[in-house]
């Protein structure tokens, strides 16, 4: 996957803020474009129009569409990973897992586009994420699995598959972004913040109890 490295530290004051602002505007516009059209159907011209910036500005920050798509995916991954980044064997597993579920539901509520873009990439066979999945992702999930297994060895958590526990959390929390239309059809109304709060409580209750952990609202 193409990753964009911009040396923001080399920029000065207001110029740096302008660049960061423009970059964020471009990434937001690109996210909407990739969500709607996918990578192949996405257009740099439409992204520029949505961002209200000249097309030349897009290429100033990102040399081509692939680089821009790579940056969008990298941002999504970094955001998701940081929510579970600092767990260790000394942590309380109930608090750590509950906090992770809360964060993942919030991401689905605040930025469903991110989950939809990532899901689309995976459903298409991860053509632009295959290297990441085999390297950085594999390292990340192996590290988290070792922490969960350490909790199990200490008797803090029931012996369930650490990997399938993470898969279950991802599936349950990202459902509220990827399948929002289905949920809203079932509820016969748009999702609101109370629904997401109820989702947090329900998912935490099911997963924590399933791991032999106490659940407190």
Q: Which long-range contacts link 38-46 to residues 24+ away (Cβ below 8 Å)?
A: 38/120, 38/124, 39/65, 39/66, 39/69, 39/121, 39/128, 42/69, 44/68
pLDDT at residue 11 is higher than 50: no
| Average pLDDT for the chain | 92
Buried b (16+ CB within 10 A) or exposed e, 69-101: bbbbbbbbbeebeebbeebeeebebbebbbbbb
Task: Identify the band that residue 4 occupies on the pLDDT scale cut at 50, 70 and 90.
Answer: very low
pLDDT bin (cut points 50, 70, 90) of residue 172 is very high
Interval 14-61: pLDDT, tens = 667 888 899 999 999 999 999 999 999 999 999 999 999 999 999 999
Q: Which CATH number fits domain 83-210: 1.10.10.10, 1.10.287.610, 3.30.390.10, 1.10.357.10?
A: 1.10.357.10
Domains of the chain by residue range: 8-70, 83-210
pLDDT, one tens digit per residue, over 113-145 is 999 999 999 999 999 999 999 999 999 999 999
What does pTM read for this prediction? 0.86
Q: How would you class 151 by CB atoms within 10 Å of its CB: exposed for 0-12, middle for 13-18, buried for 19 or more? A: buried
CATH code of domain 8-70? 1.10.10.60
């Amino acid at each position: 996957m193409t990753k964009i490295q911009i040396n923001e530290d080399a920029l000065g004051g207001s110029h740096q803020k302008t660049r960061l602002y423009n970059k964020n505007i471009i990434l937001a516009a690109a996210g909407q474009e990739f969500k709607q059209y996918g990578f192949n159907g996405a257009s740099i011209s439409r992204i520029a129009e949505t961002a209200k910036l000249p097309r030349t500005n897009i290429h100033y920050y990102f040399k081509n569409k692939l680089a821009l798509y790579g940056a969008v995916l990298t941002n999504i991954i970094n955001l998701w990973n940081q929510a579970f980044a600092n767990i260790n064997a000394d942590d309380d597993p109930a608090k750590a897992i509950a906090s992770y579920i809360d964060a993942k539901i919030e991401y689905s509520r605040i930025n469903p586009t991110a989950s939809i873009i990532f899901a689309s990439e995976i459903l298409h066979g991860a053509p632009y994420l295959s290297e990441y999945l085999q390297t950085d992702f594999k390292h990340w999930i192996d590290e988290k699995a070792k922490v969960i297994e350490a909790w199990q060895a200490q008797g803090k958590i029931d012996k369930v598959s650490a990997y399938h526990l993470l898969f279950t959390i991802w599936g349950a929390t990202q459902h509220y972004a990827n399948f929002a239309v289905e949920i809203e059809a079932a509820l016969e109304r748009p999702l609101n913040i109370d629904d997401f709060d109820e989702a947090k409580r329900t998912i935490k209750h099911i997963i924590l109890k399933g791991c032999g952990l106490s659940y407190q609202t």
